[in-house]
Amino acid sequence: MRRTILITGASSGLGAEMARQFAAKGHDLAITARRTDRLEELRAEIAAAHPEVKVSVHALDVNDHDQVFAVFTAAARELGGLDRVIVNAGLGKGGRIGTGKFEANKETAETNFIAALAQCEAAMEHFYERKAGHLVLISSVSAMRGMPGSMTSYAATKAAVAHLAEGIRIDLVNRKGHDIAVSTIYPGYIASEMNEKVEQEQKLMVDTATGVRAMVKAIDKEVDDAPVPAWPWLPLGQVLKHAPRGIARRLV
């Protein structure tokens, strides 16, 4: 078992629920986010339910790239090494291209991709040193296709994250003496703080615990990639990739 897990963006939503579910499976955790008050509440919750599990809390703004490397190093030292890193921190801001929303779109791009690149660098340096580890990148089913309106920049960043993961995965081919895996997880519409005000996602939404349970299952299998929950997102993901634009637009 990959015993120790670091999760970024763990103060709410999918990150917090992943922490709860992995703790229930006996994993020691490093949880990071900007909002340490929420992290402390989550640590207390986990300690009450699973007193045998160690949880370390770290303040982290993933856009502070030097801090990313420092926090990953500190978490590894505290937990005796990191077996799995889940690159989860992200933003859902944005607006239709050409409508004056550049700053929001840029912030999403910087947080979702550039910061993810920093996290991957820090994680893979650690894994190469240990010759073992599991890197997990949280993408989105929106990465399957260019998306309209407020989702355009967000979807583009999630596609970039998926390609980043695949590049790292290919770099590991035939690398002997290493037990390093890379997984790309494509969540469908799973309830979280990020999307609670997004009207168009309600029709296929599942609750946070159910959606994250599917994510954790795929992560534990160390799959290369997986849309989750598999139903309906495995078939719908293929439809999104190949359907005419008019049909794809009605699906989002």
Q: Which residues are catalytic?
A: 154
Per-residue CA distances from 92 to 95, 144, 159, 192, 234 (Å): 10, 16, 14, 11, 22
Specify whether the CB–CB gap between 184 and 166 falls below 8 A: yes
Q: Is 36 exposed, middle or buried (0-12, 13-18, 19+ CB in 10 A)?
A: middle
Instruction: Judge if the upstream peptide bond of residue 51 is cis by omega within 30 degrees of 0.
Output: no
Query: DSSP state, 1?
Result: -
**Residue matched to tokens 């309600």:** 202
Q: Residue holding tokens 């303040």? A: 59
Where b means 16+ CB within 10 Å and e means fewer, 106-122 reads: eebbebbbebbebbbeb
Strand partners, 137: 87, 184
Give the DSSP per-residue string, 113-159. IIHHHHHHHHHHHHHHHHTEEEEEEE--GGGGS---GGGHHHHHHHH
CA distance 119 to 137: 10
Cβ-contact 31, 10 below 8 angstroms: yes
